[in-house]
Structure 1
Amino acid sequence: MNIDVCRPDDLGASDIAAWTAIQRDAPQHGSSQMANAFLSPEFAMAVSHWRRDVRIAVLRDGGRHSEPVGYFPYQRTATGVGRAIGLGLSDCQGLVHRPGFRWDARELLAGCGLAIWEFDHLAQGQSAFEQADTESFPSPVMDVGDGWDAYIAQLRQRSARGTRTKLAQERKLALAAGEVRYVHDERDPAALRTLMEWKSAQYRRTGRSDRFAHPWITGLVEELFHTRTESFSGLLSVLYAGGRPVAAHFGLRTEHLLACWFPAYDPAVSKFSPGVMLHLNMARGAAEDGVAYLDLGRGQRQHKDFLKTRELSVSEGWVTRRHPVALAHQARRAPARALRNTVVARPKLHRPADRLLKSVGRFRTWRSAS
């Protein structure tokens, strides 16, 4: 295996075209997750504009001038600690490769100068990485490849009453706030700023770390909002009521799927389930655009349980070489990860932890207001 490492902006047009073609054809070979926008060259290049540690390993099965068989985007520290690109932000990670290609994970790490590579949303089918220290988690999806009516029929089959109630919320919102209008592809940057303000307030209110307090994340999202190619686009969807936005979502779209990313809504209309209402409209819009499914991302939430039609699987873990840097990184990261996953996996622990975080959020709100 021949491995060449470069910065994303140093990739030539032929490499970008080959990478995109692998993603485009992946669903035909049973690897739909490989078509995810978080594994695209556009996402890697955008992250590299804000983080200087992004690298791309170009893999060839033959000599140096043979055709590429895979592209491996990652981030690397000066000490050789590797992370999935956008770790903590990206919802799909791994090596984009041609059908049937097999690789040795430790050989890949050596070629990239890595002692360890950490991931938290590894796509299915990455067998070389899955043999390492990993734990799998469900990632719910909304199937719309057969059209909106077929999707709603699946929801009704599981819960006819619940689906009827959710669909009726749009009419109730219109009566309370004015005419409801949905824009699937909103191009107004002001709407994106509103979404980020809502999301920041939600993070603070629920005691979570505010991602948009980091300028590089805000800059990355704004750049992706303006990124449009034949195979990739940042997609902002907005639900309006009475002429003002009440819910919005920003995600990343490829030909085959929409990767859901940042949803938020105005708490003033929370009783109308605006988040679910928005996602149902997104499903209709995605079906009309020929998208196969919406990936809701790892994590069990009440709205995801209602919206999903099935689940994919993603893995968290790391692959290592025998190296002191790898041992030190694992020793530092493993306890916090194990504690978090234990709490998330057990409802008896998750609910008290969620209440504690919300109490922290209320304290933050009180402090900022005083």
Structure 2
Amino acid sequence: MGDSARVAVFEDGQTIVGFLPFQLSSRGVAAPIGRKLNTRQAFIHQPGLEWSWSELLAETRLHVLELQDVVGAQGAGVRSLVSASSPMIDTATGWQRYLAAIGRHKSVRTILYKERKLHRDHGGDVDFGSGPAKDFVDLGRLAAWKSRQYRLSGWPDIFAQRETLALLRLLAEECGDSLRAVGSSLRIGGEVVATDLSLSTGTVFAGWFAAHNPNFACYSPGAIRTLRTVEAAFCCGVRCIDLSRGDEQYKNALTNDHCDVATGFVFRQSVHSRVYQARRWPKSAVTSYVLAHPGVRSLVRHSLRRVGEVREQCAMLVS
């Protein structure tokens, strides 16, 4: 993030009443701090505080603030933000009743079958663990596997930036009272085959980065690890598990609730913001069309994967 990261602090007299973290991308235009690493955004403020996005932007001298997933009512009534639904898991029913409910999905039954097969093939060598990230996640392997996954998918590899792993290491080593990093790993004979790094408070568990060893893909170790990580989160007593916005199949199977978010940007009237909107419109229109048509979205994903595979093969030839 470097020198572009900012946290605006708002005060009422001598009292701090709010924080707005952001990252400058160009003059007068900012994005969520951490960009692709950030799956939720909000203006963090004192309860009951009256405010508006235009006021915040004026005080921070911003013309535009891009938002990928602004929470709750903070996106209500803003025409430049589009409402979306983000999958959640409500833990109120308890693990056993929840598992029975999602067990009707074919994908969940397949995960449980492959988990049984894994135990049959490897006996007592299979082990799952979850807890403080510094003890239960292999960040080196997570970064390597996730980097390969990004490259093969055709998407930009955020793990190619050294700051990404540095941030994950910092979070894994620090353990605060209100926020903690949680890791989980599935091992066979002591070897990590699937691992993840998530974030948790006393009430919310938020899945973040996860990856698995492609050499064990026949067992779907990532899916098994995900299901057992969800079980561990239930046992920790959180009220909900945030799966983050996305249409991945496993999210459709695991979710039993949702939260409302909004995506887009907020702005204040200025020449800068009008120029930004004029430049942004073509890309926004194309993205909206792709997302609204599953067949086109599938074609785009397939094309990106092909690009990623070719890029990976070229890199192997060069090395």
Q: Calculate the TM-score normalised by the size of structure 1.
A: 0.79
* Counterpart pick for 1:119 among 67, 87, 105: 67
8 Å Cα contact 2:137-2:195 kept in structure 1: no
* Counterpart pick for 2:13 among 49, 56, 64: 64
What residue number does 2:238 align with? 291
Alpha-carbon offset, residue 329 of structure 1: 2.4
8 Å Cα contact 1:183-1:239 kept in structure 2: yes
Over 3 Å counting, the alpha-carbon distance change for 1:310 and 1:181 in structure 2 is: same
In 2, distance between residues paired with 1:243 and 1:250? 19
Whether 1:176 and 2:110 are equivalent positions in the alignment is: no
Whether 1:139 and 2:86 are equivalent positions in the alignment is: yes
What residue number does 2:205 align with? 258
8 Å Cα contact 2:39-2:69 kept in structure 1: yes
CA RMSD of aligned residues (A): 2.1
In 2, distance between residues paired with 1:78 and 1:201? 30
Structure 2 regions of 5+ residues with no counterpart? none
In 2, distance between residues paired with 1:101 and 1:323? 26
What residue number does 1:272 align with? 219
8 Å Cα contact 2:7-2:20 kept in structure 1: yes
Alpha-carbon offset, residue 284 of structure 1: 1.4
8 Å Cα contact 2:105-2:253 kept in structure 1: no
Over 3 Å counting, the alpha-carbon distance change for 1:369 and 1:76 in structure 2 is: closer
In 2, distance between residues paired with 1:59 and 1:336? 34
Matches within 5 A, 1:1-370: 50-60=1-11, 63-65=12-14, 67-77=15-25, 79-127=27-75, 130-156=77-103, 159=104, 162-178=107-123, 179-185=125-131, 186-188=133-135, 191-370=138-317
User: Where has structure 1 moved over 4 Å in runs of 4 or more?
Assistant: none
Q: Structure 1, residues 163-186: CA drift from partner, whole Å, max 9, x if none?
A: 444223212112334522111125
Over 3 Å counting, the alpha-carbon distance change for 1:189 and 1:302 in structure 2 is: closer
In 2, distance between residues paired with 1:84 and 1:172? 43
In 2, distance between residues paired with 1:334 and 1:225? 39
Identity of aligned residues (%): 32
Alpha-carbon offset, residue 323 of structure 1: 1.7
In 2, distance between residues paired with 1:275 and 1:135? 32
In 2, distance between residues paired with 1:190 and 1:309? 27
Alpha-carbon offset, residue 189 of structure 1: 8.6
Q: Structure 1, residues 175-202: CA drift from partner, whole Å, max 9, x if none?
A: 3345221111252598111011000111
Alpha-carbon offset, residue 108 of structure 1: 1.3
Alpha-carbon offset, residue 54 of structure 1: 2.5
Alpha-carbon offset, residue 99 of structure 1: 3.2
* Number of equivalences: 315
8 Å Cα contact 2:8-2:19 kept in structure 1: yes
Q: Structure 1, residues 16-38: CA drift from partner, whole Å, max 9, x if none?
A: xxxxxxxxxxxxxxxxxxxxxxx
8 Å Cα contact 1:138-1:299 kept in structure 2: no
Q: Calculate the TM-score normalised by the size of structure 2.
A: 0.91
Alpha-carbon offset, residue 319 of structure 1: 1.3
Aligned AA (2:27): T
Q: Structure 1, residues 326-370: CA drift from partner, whole Å, max 9, x if none?
A: 222233333223323322332110111111111111101211221
Aligned AA (1:70): G
Alpha-carbon offset, residue 256 of structure 1: 1.2
In 2, distance between residues paired with 1:246 and 1:338? 40
SS at 2:72 equivalent: coil
Aligned AA (1:174): H
Structure 1 regions of 5+ residues with no counterpart? 1-49
Aligned AA (1:99): P
SS at 1:318 equivalent: strand
In 2, distance between residues paired with 1:100 and 1:154? 38
In 1, distance between residues paired with 2:134 and 2:63? 43
In 1, distance between residues paired with 2:137 and 2:111? 28
